[in-house]
Amino acid sequence: MHGTAATARARRLPVVLALALVVLGVIATLVRLDAPSDGSVLWFGSSTWSAGGAVVDVPDPAPGPALQLGDRVTAIAGHRLADGLGTVARPGLGETLSYEVASGAVRTVRVTRTDPSPLIRESWGGLVFVLVFGVLAVALYLRRPDEPATTPLLVLAAGLFGSTLTVVAGLPVLALATGGAPLWLFHANVIGSYSVAWGALVASALLFVPGHPWLSRARRGVLAFAYTGPLVFMVGWAAACAVAVDSPLRWLGLVHAAQTAVTVVAIVTSAVVVVVAYRHTGDVAIRNRLRWVAGGGGIGAAAGIVGWTLPELIAGAHPLPPGAFGMTGLPFVAGIAVALRRHRLFDIERLVNRSLVYASVVAVLITIYAAAVAVLVSALRLSHAVAAAVAAALAAVALAPLRTAAQGVVNRLMYGQRDDPVGVLAGLGARLHTVLLPDDVSATVVETVARSLRVPYVAIDVADRTGALHPAAAHGTATGPVHSEPLLHYGETVGRLQVSGRGRDDPLDPADLALIRSLAQQIGPALLTVRLHNDLVRSRAEVVALREDERRRLRRELHDGLGPALAAIGLKAVLAAREIPTGSARELLGQINDEVRASLADVRRVVDALRPPALDELGLVAAVRSRAAALSGDLDIEVCGDNEVCDSADRRALPAAVETAVYRIAVEAMTNAARHSGGRRCTVSIEAGDRDVVVTVRDDGHGLAADRTPGVGLRSMRERADELGGEFAIRSPDDGGTLVHARLPLDVGAPR
């Protein structure tokens, strides 16, 4: 019950905040329309404000001595604006006031009611945008209550609506002189409501994708900072400027300049948040949602540049009505609507691609054009018309290479290196050339293919000698249709490459498939090489295993069969000699006894050479302990192992090759520690698992020398592990000493 109430309060709070922002904007607009006006409007660019006055725009200037576009008003009715705001009493309708401008002229202005028609003509597109956006935000909030992003979108739409409505109503320069409610309600909207709106934009970007990585831990803290950060900064900045600056006009200029900076930072931060979310998520639906938003924003930006900004720079005018500029935000609104409501209706990959390409090309062309005009006019003293023509020619020449470069960059961002198959093949070859272990080849291949094509899933299955496929390596998770490409070598199937499409509705296209076929021609021989290497290792391990098994059998036969038989013969010869007092027969029996003893000694030498006797007599761990006791002196050696290995009465029957290798490696490592480590303690651990035996020898000596040369003992230990298909490593840990580690598989010679 408590959780339900808290959730309900959390749902109501944004609604209350949104209503407050709308009401604040409506009240400010009504107060402004009821206040007297001089026909001017203050714009809030960096050049509007100075310590002495403010520049005005006059949407519908009257002929004669009235205010004109670009006038910098310094005083009204004899009161200088630099001396303070709100120093002039509110004039009545029809009253005339004298305005002093920076040029020294005096303007006579008649006070009238505000006429909103010229203001609406210049800003009707912005009103349409905020109205449509507001309707969409309310609809999404009501129809998609389970969607977290709809809550900050509602606050964003309300903040933009209230502040835009106030800006369209305008603020005359007369309001600076009279002060009061019109002035401060105006700034409460264009500073306060606007700051809240940009904070809500960042919050909506964070909540647009479920499970954003930036919200993984401190979700409430990050969202609270996103909502309140811009407003808190603006309040702090305004307070700091009020203390540091004496001029009220200069103070207003600094506050509005900071508001512009906050707007830019909020938009850039939101874009970064979306990019991080796109790279983090693997959900095709979420990625399509983000593509719709990016596509709508790209179309809106391109429309604004092509329809207004570019013609203004080239010709000094634009063919479209200036008031319609706000309509360029409607594609962005449409993108949000489709993303949150119908984000699986259409595939907009091509739309996003083209939008990004042309938007970037136009932006670069505008930069080239503006820079060229500035250089030609200022440096070469050319007329503006000639400079514009030369700059346009330069832009036309740069158009084709710029489009090609932009297309390449966008394609690389969206499709990886699909358009550069030679580079992909060269990169794959370079990666394979640096692989140290054959088992890492498959993992390197799938990682390289996934990165080169920017696909969410790549896997490799390897074929054995019977043709059966076994998983070898995988990268990512499949989110779309999976394409299987056979890996061949001279017609023999050595494996299979599986590549997923970039989304459920985004399968691989012919360009992707062509590159995958080219890669398969290089991957097949690499996999065959790995298989041949594994076959070689397995064959060598089988030979070693058979050799050791045969040695153990021979030792058993010699020790338990031939040895006792020879001993019996010698004993009988001695007994027979006792029955014969003298003569050649007694001497002959003595010679037979001597030869039998020599043969027994030879048999014992052969038996000991075939296999360490202690292994059969004591068991593996006990044999190692026996050898450790012989080596102990200044170095205290402790041997421990599993019960399955240690218990000589009921120990696991290890393969002969593994048992011999473990014993030899452990004894050699202990010998090296006793001779060269200079330590006081050495531990030997032998552990048998289900699939392998691990032997670890560690001492507390001075470790390995940096310029050491591997000796016969180290090479011998490594070779014993390698010939069984195991692993061997020796290193000096950070806390000192030397660590020898070997892992030997129990299924010696079996396919791995």
Burial of 264: CB neighbours in 10 Å, binned 0-12, 13-18, 19+? exposed
Nearest to 209 by CA among 297, 116, 120, 147: 147
Higher pLDDT, 392 or 89: 89
What are 488's two structure tokens? Answer: 């061949």
Judged against a pLDDT cut of 80, whether residue 434 lies above it is answered with: no
pLDDT in tens, 513-571: 888 888 888 787 877 777 776 777 677 666 766 666 666 677 666 656 666 666 677 67
Judged against a pLDDT cut of 80, whether residue 173 lies above it is answered with: yes
Q: What local confidence, expressed as pLDDT, does residue 649 receive? A: 37
Q: What is the CA radius of gyration of the chain?
A: 43
Q: Does domain 618-745 correspond to CATH entry 3.30.565.10?
A: yes
Q: What local confidence, expressed as pLDDT, does residue 528 receive? A: 76
State which amino acid sits at residue 525.
P
pLDDT in tens, 313-356: 666 566 666 667 777 777 887 777 777 654 443 444 555 555 56
Q: How far apart are CA 449 and CA 446, in angstroms?
A: 5
Mean pLDDT check: name the lowest of 66-70, 449-453, 611-615: 611-615
Within a 10 A sphere around the Cβ of 564, how many other Cβ atoms?
Answer: 11
Judged against a pLDDT cut of 60, whether residue 17 lies above it is answered with: yes
Q: What local confidence, expressed as pLDDT, does residue 696 receive? A: 93
Q: What local confidence, expressed as pLDDT, does residue 217 receive? A: 66
Mean pLDDT check: name the lowest of 18-22, 117-121, 495-499, 630-634: 117-121
Q: What local confidence, expressed as pLDDT, does residue 309 receive? A: 65
Which H or E run contains 43? none
Model confidence at 650, pLDDT cuts 50, 70, 90, reads very low
The residues, ordered by sequence, that sit 6+ positions from 328 with a Cβ below 8 Å of its Cβ are 125, 300, 301, 303, 304, 307, 308
Q: What local confidence, expressed as pLDDT, does residue 233 receive? A: 92
Q: What local confidence, expressed as pLDDT, does residue 351 receive? A: 52
Judged against a pLDDT cut of 50, whether residue 225 lies above it is answered with: yes
Q: What local confidence, expressed as pLDDT, does residue 232 receive? A: 92
503: DSSP letter:
B
Q: CA 484, 485, 491: angle at the middle one, nearest 5?
A: 140
Model confidence at 648, pLDDT cuts 50, 70, 90, reads very low
Q: How far apart are CA 539 and CA 723, in angstroms?
A: 9
Q: What value does the mean pLDDT take over residues 297-322?
A: 68
Judged against a pLDDT cut of 70, whether residue 489 lies above it is answered with: yes
Q: What local confidence, expressed as pLDDT, does residue 236 receive? A: 92
Model confidence at 36, pLDDT cuts 50, 70, 90, reads confident
Q: What local confidence, expressed as pLDDT, does residue 595 receive? A: 76
Longest Cα–Cα distance of the chain, Å, equals 164
Model confidence at 647, pLDDT cuts 50, 70, 90, reads very low
Model confidence at 644, pLDDT cuts 50, 70, 90, reads very low
Domain spans in the chain, listed from the N-terminal domain onward: 542-610, 618-745
Q: What local confidence, expressed as pLDDT, does residue 629 receive? A: 86
Q: Percent of the chain, pLDDT > 90?
A: 4
Q: What local confidence, expressed as pLDDT, does residue 143 receive? A: 74
Q: What value does the mean pLDDT take over residues 730-752?
A: 79
Residues 696 and 721: beta-carbon distance below 8 Å: no
Q: Percent of the chain, pLDDT > 70?
A: 75
Would the pTM of this model clear 0.85, i.e. be above it? no
Residues 94 and 110: beta-carbon distance below 8 Å: yes
Residue written as token pair 């390197």: 444
The residues, ordered by sequence, that sit 6+ positions from 274 with a Cβ below 8 Å of its Cβ are 205, 208, 209, 290, 293, 294
Please give the mean pLDDT across all residues of the chain. Answer: 77
